[in-house]
Amino acid sequence: MSKRVLIVHNEYQFHGGEDSVVAQEIGALERAGCEVRLFTLSNTSIVTPIDRLRAAFQSVNSPKNIGLVLKEVDGFRPDVVHVHNYFPLISPMVHVAVRKTGTPTIQTLHNYRIICANAMLTRNGAPCEVCVGGSAYNAVLHRCYRDSRLGSLAVARSIQHHKQIGTWANHVDRFVALTEFERGRFIAAGLPGGRIAVKANGLADPGPVREGEREGLLFVGRLTSEKGIETLIAAARIAGRRVTVVGTGPLADKVAASPDLDYRGQVTPAQVRAAMREARALLVPSLWYEGLPMVVVEAFALGLPVIASRIGSLAEIVSDDVTGLHAAPGDAADLARAMTRILTDRAASERMSRAARSKYESCWSETVTTNQLMGIYADAMDSHRTMRIAV
């Protein structure tokens, strides 16, 4: 039986991976026979520091915007409401309000927002878990949200409030974590493990893997410190290898100034895929745990091995010497070693290319991940119905 699904998503100010995942998932559900409606608000209205601060303080509860969601629920009558990003315009209280209507809710955990003020479990260029088992107010001491003590207070207040009133423990029928590593962090933070399912982000098949010679190294993503950009610049210099860089961000000028990087700026998705078809490997030298970057899924779908930091979820999704290579996070010399290895060992890179495509087909293809999601929806509906009968 087809399902009616209401997707709730707070769009980011600049289009990013989560926004792309939402669009992909809607298309996949529709192709699977579901009737899908999207409720979305955008952060484009948040422009000034005052706007950001106001939004952060309102993130505890947003009754006006939640009312708009409830209006959609009343008119559409969905079988499930699936929330992606709620921050900062919608708030976690949407789960409490929707479940009062008798509708089960799902929350995809794209990042660590529900336990970490900066959503990345990172501080000073390294992983930080002080708030996982402790108070979110640690973020105020370290200015974790936009380097602002006041902003950090606002976000920490929201995190701590929903932890204390049991929003996550009692008012969400199912959570979707992207990797087993993520699931473990959320369980450590107190979420009910029995309600956390692991489902990767899926991707429609982009077509056959390119036959023939592939050359060069590629980076695609936000040009920020936590993405390991400084490590990338140093590694390219050490290895004496040019790296094509696609993306924008605060470190764009530093990337453009590096003689070892070929900076392309922001390009179209089609141009990204074309670059992936030509490259020998994708570089993901992140210093934070990451979730499941769509750029890795896209690379594997195109048979492109990935050189990734040996950290968090990346160490799980990229198998060393199978679908790519690992490098120590923040270690430019080790990243240079991996870059040189994959460029000089043609047989190994071709073997990794085949394994990457196989991983995509078995774990991340649209059919596989959509079937998993439909199962999660069914479980949420069954458990919600059982709870209501018990009450």
User: Mean per-residue pLDDT for 68-79?
Assistant: 98
One domain, residues 356 and 223:
yes
DSSP, residue by residue, 237-261 = HHHT--EEEE--STTHHHHHH-TTE
State percent of the chain over pLDDT 90.
Answer: 86
Q: Does the pLDDT value for residue 44 go beyond 90?
A: no
| Average pLDDT score over residue span 185-196 | 97
Q: Distance between CA atoms of 150 and 139, rounded to whole angstroms?
A: 10
Q: What is the mean pLDDT of residues 71-80?
A: 98
Q: What share of the chain is helix, strand, coil (3-state, %, to 5)?
A: 50, 15, 35
In terms of average pLDDT, the best of 42-51, 108-117, 145-154 is 108-117
**Which position has the token pair 């079988």?**
79
Query: Are residues 303 and 172 located together in one domain of the fold?
Result: no
Average pLDDT score, the chain: 94
Amino acid identity, position 284 = V
What pTM does this model have?
0.92
Domain containing residue 41: 4-110+166-202+366-390
Contacts of 242 (CB under 8 A, 6+ apart): 216, 217, 236, 260, 261, 262
Q: At which residue do the structure tokens 């936000």 appear?
A: 222
Report the pLDDT averaged over residues 112-120.
Answer: 95
Are 180 and 252 members of one domain?
no
- Model pLDDT for residues 22-38, shown as the tens digit of each residue: 999 999 999 999 999 99
Indicate if the pLDDT at residue 178 is higher than 60: yes
Residue 123 belongs to some domain of the structure: no
Q: Are residues 187 and 245 in the same domain?
A: no
Q: What is the CATH number of the domain that holds 54?
A: 3.40.50.2000
| Residues of the chain above pLDDT 70, percent | 98
Q: What is the pLDDT of residue 389?
A: 46
**Average pLDDT score over residue span 304-314:** 97
pLDDT band at 58 (very low <50, low <70, confident <90, very high): confident
222 and 276 in a single domain? The answer is yes
| Angstrom distance (rounded) from CA 336 to CA 90 | 43
Query: Are 197 and 376 within 8 A, CB to CB?
Result: yes
Per-residue pLDDT of 138-163, as tens digits, reads: 999 999 998 999 999 999 999 999 99
343 within some domain:
yes
Based on the fold, state whether residues 198 and 293 are members of the same structural domain.
Answer: no
Cis preceding-peptide flag for 88 (omega within 30 of 0): yes
Question: Is residue 120 assigned to a domain?
Answer: no
Predicted confidence at residue 45, as pLDDT, reads 79
Is residue 187 in a domain? Answer: yes
Closest CA to 68 of 46, 99, 40: 40
Is residue 391's pLDDT more than 50?
no
The string of pLDDT tens digits covering residues 234-252 is 999 999 999 999 999 999 9
- The reply to whether 94 and 192 lie within a common domain is yes
pLDDT at residue 206 in the model: 93
Same domain, 173 and 56: yes
Per-residue pLDDT, averaged over 315-332, amounts to: 98
Note the pLDDT of residue 388. Answer: 57
Specify the pLDDT at position 390: 42
Q: How far lies 345's CA from each of 4, 218, 340, in Å? A: 50, 17, 8
CA 229, CA 283: separation in Å to the nearest integer? 10
Q: What is the mean pLDDT of residues 319-333?
A: 98
**Is 357 in the same domain as 276?**
yes
The answer to the question of residue 207 being in a domain is no
Amino acid making up residue 358? S
Beta bridge partners of 108: 176
Question: What does each C-alpha distance from 16 to 26, 221, 277, 341 come to in angstroms?
Answer: 16, 9, 22, 31
Q: Which residues contact 288 (CB under 8 A, 6 or more apart)?
A: 120, 121, 122, 127, 226, 311, 312
Instruction: Of 5, 10, 3, 16, give the one whose Cα is nearest residue 291.
Output: 16
Between CA 113 and CA 350 the distance in angstroms is 38
Q: Is the pLDDT of residue 387 over 80?
A: no
Q: Quick one: 189 and 289 in the same domain?
A: no
pLDDT value at 124 more than 80:
yes
* Count of the separate structural domains present in the chain: 2
Q: How far apart are CA 77 and CA 69, in angstroms?
A: 12
Tell me how many degrees the CA angle 228-231-237 measures, rounded to the nearest 5: 145
Contacts of 359 (CB under 8 A, 6+ apart): 300, 319, 323
Shared-domain flag, residues 340 and 384: no
- Structural domain includes residue 211: no
Q: 47 and 191 in one domain?
A: yes
27-34: Cβ within 8 A, 24+ apart: 27/204, 28/202, 28/204, 28/366, 28/369, 28/370, 28/373, 29/3, 29/5, 29/370, 29/373, 31/366, 31/370, 32/370, 32/374, 33/2, 34/2, 34/3, 34/4, 34/5
Comparing 52-56, 84-88, 350-354, 385-389, the range with the smallest average pLDDT is 385-389
